[in-house]
Homo-oligomer: A and B are copies of this chain.
Amino acid sequence: MKSLNKALDIIEMIAQRGSLGIRELSSFVGFPVGTTHRIVATLAKRRFLVQDPASRNYSLSLRFLELGTRVQQQFNLTSIARPYLEKLMQETGESANLAVLDRDDAVYLDHVRSNHMLQLFTRLGARVPLYATGVGKMFLSRLSEQELKDYLARTAMAARTPRTIVNADNLAKELAQIRKAGFAVDNEEMEEGVRCVAAMVFDHMKRPVAALSLSGAVTRITPERIEYFGEMVKQYAIRISESLGFNS
């Protein structure tokens, strides 16, 4: 499967760099120009890439948006949770987000943005590390001791901000605290100036399937209001869980 792997390399490279000519692309991925061109031509013929007539550069086509939203929709979780996200945003005035666990990342499946100027920049489908986010720590708090250990073994905890938890012991303490409170707080650990409050969503088998969160500027999500936001997120997370057939 050498050629397929090359094609996937090319797709990833174009996704990363945006728009590239054959020459640039071939030097970035390290394949000869001829090979690169053949693969790109095939992907373009199949409409997975588009070529800008002016610059002759290739970029990913809107087909990826089409496929991506189909994937999003196949989680029927999304359609069930959507109205709750909207209500939660309206009631609290802060952006509501829904994330799922995918390997060692949390992935944002959906969000409803508040209309405040200052916003955490979460893009749909964006991947964020577990140890540095509210939704991520929520997932981590449900792991067994062994699973957590394995996760830590394969993860380098980089300091995104001065407040990021980069120490296994501190993380363990934090997770214990989260289990006690039933919600997780991201206190400017991912992005300076942004706090996040998250709670778990369960399915009918009582499995943790998603994390619900509120995110906003530190000026609005203040330490005094953390409890309030925590309760709100927990409450809505339960409601979504119940819509999924969860019975406490």
Contact = CB atoms under 8 A, between A and B. Distances in A.
Interface of A: 1, 3-5, 7-8, 11, 15, 18-19, 38-39, 41-43, 46-48, 59-62, 64-74, 86, 100, 102-103, 107, 109, 115, 123-127
Contacts of A123: 69-70, 73
Contact of A67 (B64, B72, B107): B64
In the assembly, how many copies of this chain are there? 2
Given A1-B3, A3-B1, A62-B107, A125 B42 contact: no
5 contacts: A1-B3, A1-B39, A4-B7, A15-B71, A68-B69
Given A4-B7, A61-B71, A67-B125, 11 more contacts: A1-B3, A4-B42, A15-B67, A18-B74, A47-B103, A62-B125, A64-B71, A65-B71, A65-B109, A66-B126, A69-B126
Contacts of A7: 4, 7
A65 B74 contact: no
Contacts of A46: 5, 8
B127 A39 contact: no
A133 to B, nearest CB: 16
* Complex A-B, nearest 10 residue pairs according to Cβ-Cβ distance, in ascending order: A68-B68, A65-B125, A66-B125, A65-B68, A1-B42, A64-B68, A64-B67, A69-B124, A69-B125, A60-B71
